[in-house]
């Protein structure tokens, strides 16, 4: 089985702009954004779904979410943000490496959740 794209990014085999990084997670702009600032928070180690993430790395996940949100809200002058996470094919997971979508939001931006609406 070919190694996944997020593992290659994590190992530095594919160079991407990182928004934030800590010991266990990193964030990057989404390659196919649904809106301005759409970004991904990705585990450095390969876990397929949220159910596979060890509880002990929870603080690092929360840190990456918070720091990424602060940076995106400042950069895009947003007033809030959405986070979503698709687990398993039935829920729309395409890349089988756990990741969270973050979308900066502004009042009246016409978006519904993480989706354009």
DSSP per position, 32-45: S-SSTT-EEEEESS
* SS3 per-residue string spanning 52-109: HCCHHHHHHHHHHHHHHHHHHHHHCCCCEEEEECCCCHHHCCCCCCCEEEEEEECCCC
Rounded CA-CA distance 91/13 in Å is 29
Q: Map tokens 């395409």 to a residue.
A: 94
**Which one of 38, 97, 99, 101 is the catalytic residue?**
99
Rounded CA-CA distance 20/1 in Å is 29
Whether 99 sits among the annotated catalytic residues: the reply is yes
- Residues classed as catalytic: 99
């Amino acid at each position: 089985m070919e190694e996944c794209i997020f593992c290659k990014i994590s190992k530095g085999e594919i160079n991407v702009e990182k928004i934030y990084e800590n010991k266990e997670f990193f964030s990057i702009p989404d390659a196919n954004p649904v809106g301005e600032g759409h970004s991904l928070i990705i585990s450095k180690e390969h876990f397929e779904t949220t159910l596979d993430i060890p509880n002990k790395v929870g603080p690092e996940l929360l840190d990456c979410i918070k720091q990424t949100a602060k940076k995106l809200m400042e950069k895009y002058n947003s007033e809030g943000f959405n986070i979503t996470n698709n687990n398993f094919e039935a829920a729309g997971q395409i890349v089988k490496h756990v990741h969270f979508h973050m979308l900066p939001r502004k009042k009246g931006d016409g978006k519904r959740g993480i989706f354009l609406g």
